Chains A and B, each alone.
Chain A
Amino acid sequence: MSDNQSNNAYWSANIRLIAVCLVIWALVSFGFGILLRPMLSGIAVGGSDLGFWFAQQGSILVFLGLIFFYAWRMNKLDAEFGVDEE
């Protein structure tokens, strides 16, 4: 595989990973936290419902997980495609 093709494959793998992460990002905030909250209203969490918890706590925790997951996966991808630093 030439350098160019390998770089393209690396970039599409990155784009796929970003897309997955952003779907989760939107799902927990705009989804569970706002638009889908009525559907989650049956699940009680301490005096309110799951949607309220996602809006005020859960989304932030998921954001944290996403950033660390992405950093970990990308650093592995860098090495796999031989584009890491050093």
Chain B
Amino acid sequence: MDQFTINLLFVGASFALYIGIAIWARAGSTSEFYAAGRGIHPVTNGMATAADWMSAASFISMAGLIAFTGYDNSSFLMGWTGGYVLLALLLAPYLRKFGKFTVSEFIGDRFYSPTARLVAVICLIVASTTYVIGQMTGVGVAFGRFLEVSNTTGLLIGACVVFAYAVFGGMKGVTYTQVAQYCVLIVAYTIPAIFISLQLTGNPIPALGLFGEHAASGEALLSKLDATIQELGFNQYTAHNGDTFNMVLFTLSLMIGTAGLPHVIMRFFTVPRVADARWSAGWALVFIALLYLTAPAVGAMARLNITELMWPNGTEGQAVSIETINSDEAYAWMETWQKTGLLDWEDKNGDGMIQYYNDASPAMAERAAAEGWTGNELTKFNRDILVLANPEIANLPSWVIGLVAAGGLAAALSTAAGLLLAISSAVSHDLIKGAINPNISEKGELMSARVAMAVAIAVATYLGLNPPGFAAQTVALAFGLAAASIFPALMMGIFSTRINNTGAVAGMLAGLIVTLVYIFLHKGWFFVPGTNSFTDADPLLGTIKSTSFGAIGAMINFAVAYIVSSMTKPIPQEIKDLVESVRIPRGAGDAVDH
């Protein structure tokens, strides 16, 4: 059986499983759909939240970004887990006590203003749409490889599947489908990691293998990796090479953004009790940590494997020959990935070998001149392919490769479809019914939801063809936007009795607009390539990259809200009472339908 058939089998079987569970545990009405979390154990709920949360960015993209940058990209690991601490301590229990279903409803009620609710909805739509662009990038990579077509074709096919999946809808809300998706996703991520850790270090736990001994050389794995890539002119893997200030801001943006993204917060609205909201965040992080503790090992080990494949005789010896790449089974992955257009090589100096090294490093110039190299010949290695290619690179059995394909698709599809649902309901329910046309018929509301979904996916697909970054980087921009707009409003709504309606609206608008403009200046207006005035290599303000700006946006939001509130009328007594009641767990009834 060839690899293509095996992939098809695994992906098909996993889809059949999700659909089977969805039919078995069918959600009937809207309130059942929303209430799916009630009466379900916090552990099960945590697993479902983890599936909801971990998207193409975590599964497909993150380890690749760590692999090619090393320590400096630890921000992704700390940021996307540290946000759960903020969520559990600062938001989840209080929003559960408040007892409604959506983030914009809380902001509308707490700031006693339909305008505040409308602004919150706009913030949610902007952040979610950016998030979907990142997911579509990942979907394109996964479908391109799995159907063995170009990245563009893969993206277009993937977009159709995501659209169908999202319209099919209800499946998303069924907690047990998400539990199944989590299981597929985590098994698919850890099995190859365990195999590779055993191959390289003899330790079956990748997180320990990362700090263990490289079996072949007897050195520590990380020292071996550092030495190997430094000989080729690359930065030391474990060293801090980038800017410290930017790294701190980037980590903070991801943390605050995690606690400001509506589709994660929503899950805590519907747990049975306030106490459960506290536990649920912990259980969600347990299941997320299983992947996040493994990811740095996947990155480091893959980097070592790739380098050793390109230099089979050691970095001092001869590079791999084109003949070997074309004939040796161990290099078959290079040809399959070349088809997607995301991996490429070129024998620039015509010596029949492919030299992989850092041609920008001055230290390498001398050796390159002596050996007749005319530049790095592994010309393209898209970071987003690393996790999906990893089992092939390590020469693992074909069933593992099929499993990873199924896992990657589960991660990308579930989150993309969930976000599209969130966008469409925000547009039809909050924007059109809540503000523009309150008398819209139910049929009209449903129609506008479908149209909003179709528009969102068309925009995301178009921009996914020329994405503003690798999947995880684009998703990081979405987190920056959520950090700058939603999180401060929620936090001030709970922890301050001074911030009033005008202050909250001004704060959210200031945070969103300043952050959006900063991102557009660096990534192009509305992410259209070529319309940017700055790049992240040489940003507008000091060393602050556009992906790190969310933390600054959040501070602007806090400051503007505070100043404007102190110049305008204090909040009315009944809102003070509302804030008081949100702070006390007693009296939390069931969450009510709206």
By a beta-carbon cutoff of 8 Å, the part of chain A in contact with chain B is 7, 10-11, 14, 18, 21-22, 25, 29-30, 33-35, 37, 45-49, 52-53, 55-57, 59-61, 63-64, 66-68, 70-71, 74-75, 78, 82-85
Contacts and interface: CB of A to CB of B under 8 A. Distances in A.
A64 B282 contact: yes
A61 to B, nearest CB: 8
20 contacts: A29-B251, A35-B244, A35-B248, A46-B220, A46-B222, A47-B222, A48-B220, A52-B74, A52-B238, A55-B71, A55-B77, A56-B74, A60-B292, A60-B293, A63-B82, A63-B289, A71-B275, A71-B281, A83-B585, A85-B587
Nearest to A30: B248
Contacts of A29: 78, 82, 251, 255
B279 A71 contact: yes
Q: Which 9 pairs from chain A and chain B are nearest by CB?
A: A46-B211, A47-B220, A47-B222, A71-B278, A55-B74, A67-B282, A48-B238, A56-B296, A47-B223
A68 B283 CA distance: 9
B71 A7 contact: no
A53 B211 contact: yes
A78 B584 CA distance: 8
A49 B77 CA distance: 17
Contacts of B255: 29
B82 A74 contact: no
Contacts, number: 138
A57 B88 contact: no
A63 B275 contact: no
A32 B84 CA distance: 19
Contact of B219 (A10, A21, A47, A55): A47
B400 interface: no
Nearest to B207: A57
A84 B586 contact: yes
Contacts of A78: 275, 585-586
A74 B97 CA distance: 14
Contact of A71 (B226, B240, B248, B282): B282
Interface of B: 71, 74, 77-78, 81-82, 84-85, 88-90, 93, 207, 210-212, 219-226, 238, 240, 244, 247-248, 251-252, 255, 273-275, 278-279, 281-282, 285-286, 289, 292-293, 296, 580, 583-588
B224 A60 contact: no
Contacts of B207: 57
Contact of A25 (B74, B82, B293): B82
Nearest to A60: B81
Nearest to B201: A46
Given A18-B89, A63-B81, A63-B82, A56 B210 contact: yes
A67 B88 contact: yes
A49 B238 CA distance: 9
B275 to A, nearest CB: 5
Nearest to B295: A56
Q: Is the interface of A mostly helix, strand, loop or mixed?
A: helix
Contacts of B282: 64, 67-68, 71
A60 B244 CA distance: 20
B515 to A, nearest CB: 21
A26 B219 CA distance: 33
A83 B78 CA distance: 34
Contact of A60 (B71, B78, B238, B252): B78
A25 B278 CA distance: 16
A11 B94 CA distance: 12
A57 B222 contact: no
Nearest to B74: A55
A48 B211 contact: yes
Contact of B584 (A10, A49, A55, A67): A10
Contacts of B285: 63-64, 67
A85 B584 contact: no
Contacts of A85: 273-275, 585-588
A67 B238 contact: no
Given A64-B282, A84-B585, A85-B588, A74 B78 contact: no
B275 A59 contact: no
Contacts of A48: 211, 220, 222-223, 238
B89 A34 contact: no
